[in-house]
Structure 1
């Protein structure tokens, strides 16, 4: 069972790396990169902190999310346990923000599916990590 969770952690981390890299460059998928660039104009308009007077510039927002996903994905996949937990938390916040943004923009529920599945898997890994930590304290 531990192998299954380790494999899930690595695959999910690599998935975030690829998603982040697509945001950063058009060399992986030019079409997806261009689509994300146009979507992030809308995403900036629905940014959760907009209510507090902060609205990010769409290009910078796209780039920041890309770098966060690449770094957090690598740490989730290959980092030491503490950094895996931190990256899991960061990616969880990003997925909650993504779902919030899509709902504010009134996108179809199907558009929320990838972020929702990723959020569920991150939470599953988080629960598994807490069980593992609790178990090691009692041994």
Structure 2
């Protein structure tokens, strides 16, 4: 039983690192124009379309496509890094933010009525983020137990005697 829990914990840790790395790289790609000219133009066109179907447009807010791309890029980069390197609470928060971001991406793609093959990356990422979230509920994590000071000082007293 403990072996299965250890394997599941290791699989979740590996998934967390892979997802964090992936989102960090995609965020960096959105922030940097140094990737390739065709990819940068394609991303610019995509965020122009995303801005046109932005969910808050109903309330009169439509973001600038470039600002939208930069905001999503920073969110992906920082949340991806925290997913890999952050303490457990920040890992949970970044997982939630990335999940919401992927829900928004799927929502935008549905509104744009793009082909089903265009949905695959967003749905796969969303599914993996949800798997990571659900897996953390069922796989217990080990807590580090630190001895209290009283206990430590009594050990030293016994050693001196």
Q: Please, what TM-score do these two structures have when normalized by structure 1?
A: 0.92
Match of 2:116 in 1: 109
Equivalent position SS for 1:54: coil
CA RMSD of aligned residues (A): 1.5
Q: 1:52 aligns with which of 59, 62, 76?
A: 59
Residue 94 (structure 1) aligned to one of 92, 95, 101 = 101
Q: Contact (CA 8 Å) 2:47, 2:65: kept in 1 or not?
A: yes
Question: Rg larger in 1 or in 2?
Answer: 2
Equivalent residue for 2:22, pick from 15, 18, 30: 15
Cα distance in 2, alignment partners of residues 28 and 45 from structure 1: 25
- Distance in structure 1 (CA, Å) of the matches to 2:81 and 2:69: 18
Unaligned stretches of 5+ residues in structure 2: 1-6, 144-161
Matching residue of 1:66: 73
Displacement over 6 Å in runs of 4+? none
After superposition, the Cα gap between the structure-2 partners of 1:109 and 1:47, relative to the gap in structure 1 and judged at 3 Å, is: same
Gapped regions of structure 1 (runs ≥ 5):
none
| Conserved? CA contact 1:76–1:87, under 8 Å | yes
TM-score after normalising by structure 2:
0.80
Deviations 1:79-114 (A, max 9, x none): 111000000000000000000000100000111110
Aligned length: 136
